[in-house]
């Protein structure tokens, strides 16, 4: 959670975003751990890029941050396409 706080994002915002139909962008392999990168939106409309890893039945949030302009455009384009 330290990395999330460094980006001035509250854990509750990450939970909201991941509960609000997140868009899977891609998977990445980091030292044998599969991580998933999502774009998601909080209840207040804040857009987040969130990276999570699954560990058994649990989901670990690696980090979350405010996406840059290109990532925001990508998110909006995906939403228009119905993703």
CB 30, CB 77: distance < 8 Å: no
**Residue 18: predicted pLDDT:** 95
pLDDT of residue 31: 92
Residue closest to 53 by CA, chosen among 29, 71, 77: 29
pLDDT digits (tens, 9 = 90+) for 2-61: 778 788 999 999 999 999 999 999 999 999 999 999 999 999 999 999 999 988 899 999
- pLDDT value of residue 1: 66
Distance CA 70, CA 76 (A): 10
- Which letter does DSSP use for residue 11 in this model? H
CB atoms within 10 A of CB 43: 11
């Amino acid at each position: 959670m330290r990395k999330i706080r460094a980006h001035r994002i509250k854990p509750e915002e990450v939970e909201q975003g991941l509960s609000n139909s997140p868009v899977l962008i891609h998977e990445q392999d980091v030292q044998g751990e599969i991580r998933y990168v999502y774009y998601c939106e909080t209840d207040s409309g804040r857009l987040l890029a969130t990276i999570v890893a699954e560990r058994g039945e649990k989901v670990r949030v690696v980090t979350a941050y405010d996406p840059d302009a290109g990532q925001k455009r990508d998110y909006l384009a995906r939403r228009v396409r119905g993703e």
